[in-house]
Structure 1
């Protein structure tokens, strides 16, 4: 009887997988697998899609790392990682979803991040300079208004929105993921909504360390890792975090992170250059099709992220009911279908 049940389970799984695969095939573009991996229109086959792109800055020329996955002249997504100072590794889950939908995408380590040059001049860690860097990357990769989708998550969402305010004529679509458009609003949500959800004794101890600015204390970090991260950053036990996420955190550049984000893991504080960033009153200037992604358990207020979609001229909201700040891992069921649908709807010219 046990053998029969096991065989039946295998058959059910096989049928289920077959059905899912058929649905994937139906969902893909008219590109064949061969066409999607066609290297003829690219000059990066020798390096497996990797390009080191020269970037001109006020402090000289440096190089940033990018890597292309796939080939589709109509749908190309440039991924802006968070941090600041994190890496492209946080997006490795995208490889499980976008290629089978025929969507070309680019990993990209911003200047200062792991695979790119890491100059020591702190004046380079400036939002406006990063905007100009993204524009130089766009030009080098040959992205334009007919195919260019810009995806930014967390700090990448700040960078993506700021880029759109200046260069949206080069965009086909914008995706702002897990980021509000005001750091003061983010801090308020952290202080008034998320902090009270912690056990009172844990919150008290965290705030004591923050008052002393003892951010490197192992006890402080362990409290954040044990009580805050698994609820609002990635809803998994830290011991079960994917290898790509662990590598991302191992490779953070603290100079970039602390300069722009500050030393606290509980908001943006101190002399962080992003502390007063707020473009809420400018969102109405963004006319390019825009997807805002929010999550129920995020460090950011999901209601604010829904509001973003109503404030831009042509917006859509994607809610991840089971997700947190890294919804591409803890709510893939909603994150990827919604992201893919947006890209394809914009490509087909369908109303949001």
Structure 2
């Protein structure tokens, strides 16, 4: 072989590799993205998935938007027992990126079955539910991104600790790794930002266990929820629908009566020591005005093996609404970096 050919060989090899990479990372076409998932009667991507539990089989609601064999994002809503509705903001961002997105109402939530047996409302049972949904939707380690907000972030972390071999990426939005730490932050930081007279009244109602007193939410909505849950001057219709459709029986049993701290079955949940077990690329999202401590969520990104932190300086607990300018570029960038093998 001539010297010139030998010198050109590395360049040609590199060019072929680059072309192959470009082909591998090429976005799906519009036609491919919106191709029907199922044959027969089309239902706009809605699929009721059977979930087997210790007391019987129930159905949960899912809606898939788009087709992308490499990027499928399953979204876990908060609560517990809120709805997918407040995550509808993702519909304005993910499809234009070509990301396949799956909205999902967990068991007990409005669009899914709502059994009454209290034995169902444990985090371990919800983890098994997510795994059954994953299998039904054919998600795997080559395409499966799990995104959870609030309680959904807690569930996502717990899922990853048991089933991370099935994940390509993990996104934990606005959720600390410890409920005791969350409660401490609410008491030591957020409560002190409230008008002392308002706080005294709220605490007096809580001390009596009088959570159905209309005065309780009358005070919390303007003084806490509007400051730390969603800071938009008018809450989006999707957020209002999620609150309207919340299953308060399940919510109170697991979370407690409000977002102002945590009670119920989740009060002692803490996996801080287990974060180093999470090996998959992980994004943690915190916000300046969140109900959760943004510094704690920054710290979480340093504890997992492959972490990144996204800070939303204008955002609150629902920063996918009140700080979209920072939230969505950060989340989209993470997914693209993982998909392209460029995550660091």
Partner residue, 1:34: 31
Query: TM-score, normalised to structure 1's length?
Result: 0.89
Counterparts of 1:45 and 1:344, CA distance in 2: 33
- Structure 2: 5+ residue runs without aligned partners? 1-24
Match of 2:292 among 300, 310, 316: 300
CA shift for structure 1 position 351: 2.8
Task: Describe the superposition over 1:220-262 as per-residue Cα deviations: whole angstroms up to 9, x where unpaired.
Answer: 110001110111000023xx11000000000000121011001
Task: Describe the superposition over 1:116-141 as per-residue Cα deviations: whole angstroms up to 9, x where unpaired.
Answer: 00001011001000000000000000
Aligned length: 320
- Larger Rg, first or second structure (1 or 2): 2
Partner residue, 2:211: 215
Counterparts of 1:338 and 1:301, CA distance in 2: 19
The answer to whether residue 262 in structure 2 is matched with residue 268 in structure 1 is yes
Q: How does 1:1-352 map to 2 (within 5 A)?
A: 30-39=27-36, 42-43=38-39, 46-237=42-233, 240-269=234-263, 272-352=264-344
Aligned partner of residue 158 in structure 1, secondary structure: helix
Ranges of 4+ aligned residues in structure 1 off by more than 6 Å: none
8 A contact 1:85–1:253 mirrored in 2: yes
- Structure 1: 5+ residue runs without aligned partners? 1-27
Aligned partner of residue 285 in structure 2, secondary structure: strand
In structure 2, the CA distance between the partners of 1:258 and 1:65, relative to structure 1 (3 Å rule), is same
8 A contact 2:283–2:334 mirrored in 1: yes
Counterparts of 2:128 and 2:29, CA distance in 1: 35
What is the root-mean-square deviation in Å for CA atoms of aligned residues? 1.2
Counterparts of 2:160 and 2:294, CA distance in 1: 21
CA shift for structure 1 position 265: 4.0
Partner residue, 2:5: none
Query: TM-score, normalised to structure 2's length?
Result: 0.91
Counterparts of 1:221 and 1:263, CA distance in 2: 10
CA shift for structure 1 position 44: 7.8
